[in-house]
Amino acid sequence: PTSELSSAPPAPAMVKYVFFDVTVADKAIGRMIFELYMDSVPKTAENFRALCTGEKGMAKDSKTPLHYKGSMLHRVIRGFMAQGGDITNHDGTGGESIFGGMFPDENFRHRHVGPGVLSMANRGPGTNASQFFITFGSAKHLDGKHVVFGKLVEGMEVLDTIEATPCRQETPLHPVKIKDCGEMEKGWKPEIEQRQKSEVAEMGYLSHIAKLQKAANGGAKVKFKKRKKGKKRPASTRGDAQGAAAAGPTGSKEASAPPAQRQKTTEAAKGGKAGNADGAEKKDTRTPEEKVEGVITAMDHFKVLGFEPPIFGENGKPEWLFTEKEVKKRYRGLSRFVHPDKCSHPKAAEAFEKINSAFKILTDTAQLEAYLDQYAKKNKEKMLRASSAGGVSDKVRLKREQVEQERIQAFRDKINNSLAERLKKNKVQAARERLPTPPSSDTDPSEDSEEERRKKRLSAFKRRKHGKSLFF
């Protein structure tokens, strides 16, 4: 039994790494390293690995080397993918697997999510050979149609350079070639995985230090009670007095307060849905009939939707700080109950029309400014009293702070978006700078020559003559 165990072959590794050394116009741009999923798609991954090493020799059908070395990435579509692996014709019309010919789809367990996904190119179900493609971004429409068998773990800047290569009709103007390829040496790991291992080792060291400290403190173990679903977490599982003592000088006032006072504080902190100027709004528990009466008796458009009226701001002009989003939210919540088809009140139609008119005025900037001026002339004394009242001024102050914070956040988001766009442009520019300088010529390479234009005119004439397309 011992000799049998010793002579048994070792189990294959679940993950293997292969590399491509890529050149553009015979200029090296770097190395790409791929991780192969040997456990989930072993047949497809083994086909790619053997084609990288070239260990299978010559192909049975085409009599060409089963090796990616010297082959081309013949198709590049910016924002989509780069395709290669045609080891027989080098133009996307050929290819052969190590099994001879084509082999069926293994499974579609992995998805085309994000850049650097390594997947098999095919001509339909069960037509996998040696051609593959590498995605530049997510391609969810290919899920269930192409077999994903690996991903790019190092060399993303090389993939960016390939994407930035100038092309004409999806064909690179400068040849993108796999100069060399093979399998990484045994025991090699990507930098990210090595960094994660070092972090895990560091965490293990910190855990060891924590155990030593725990032993020095007498081995006290902290127990946590599992909270049942639907129940609130108590202030302390050891009692109010012990919880307040454990809070110490950094404990909150709510934890150190008596139970009755803490209950009031909790209820006050709940508030309700945001919508008032002070950020708290109690839930509207009125019936639809009561809501209709409230709309009918409202004297202005602000009261119709339940908002507080405007006051005079610091510049002496009428100020109303609610946003269009808040108006729409209040309008949806109110019109749903006051609609004549859902409410049996005889004045429901009148109230619904009043809500619609208030909504139109409060969401239109020009109409709102005119209505504010009109309201200020009629209710000047009332607004002055409201502006001088302490409670309302505090609400307005809080609302002003909220609006200012939203404005600052919107400005920050705008700056961040512009920075992200600038970084993306710099990334593309850097990728283009790594490309070789195109040969100088008087003609634009993207323009067709006279001979190519003549051929296109001839093919168009033939299609019109025969009444069908000659090309796919």
Cα dihedral sign for 85, 88, 90, 91? negative
Structure tokens of 73?
């990435």
Using left for φ > 0, alpha for ψ between -120 and 50, and beta otherwise, residue 179 falls in alpha
Catalytic entry in 49, 74, 75, 345: 75
Active site residue 412: no
Active site residue 339: no
Catalytic entry in 20, 133, 136, 149: 133
Among 56, 89, 51, residue whose Cα is nearest residue 72: 89
Active site residue 332: no
Catalytic entry in 49, 67, 73, 83: 83
Active site residue 122: yes
Phi, psi (degrees; rounded to nearest 5) at 35 = -100, 130
Using left for φ > 0, alpha for ψ between -120 and 50, and beta otherwise, residue 142 falls in alpha
Structure tokens of 168?
């004409």
Among 129, 135, 54, 126, residue whose Cα is nearest residue 86: 129
Q: Distance of alpha carbon 394 from its chain centroid, rounded?
A: 40
Catalytic entry in 67, 146, 301, 330: 146
Compute the radius of gyration of the chain from its Cα atoms: 36
Catalytic entry in 36, 66, 110, 122: 122
Active site residue 74: no
CB 39 within 8 A of CB 14: yes
Beta bridge partners of 172: 167
Catalytic entry in 31, 78, 80, 402: 80
- Alpha-carbon gap, residue 185 to 19, rounded angstroms: 11
Catalytic entry in 51, 66, 142, 159: 142
- Alpha-carbon gap, residue 148 to 48, rounded angstroms: 12
CB 88 within 8 A of CB 61: no
Please provide the distance, in angstroms rounded to a whole number, between the alpha carbons at the two ends of the chain: 63
Active site residue 136: no
Q: For 439, which DSSP code?
A: P
Active site residue 133: yes
> What HEC string does 165-208 produce?
CCEECCEECCCEEEEEEEECCCCCCCHHHHHHHHHHHHHHHHHH
One-letter amino acid of 193:
E
- Alpha-carbon gap, residue 416 to 410, rounded angstroms: 10
Element (H, E) at 178: strand 176-183
Residues with catalytic annotation?
75, 80, 83, 122, 133, 142, 146
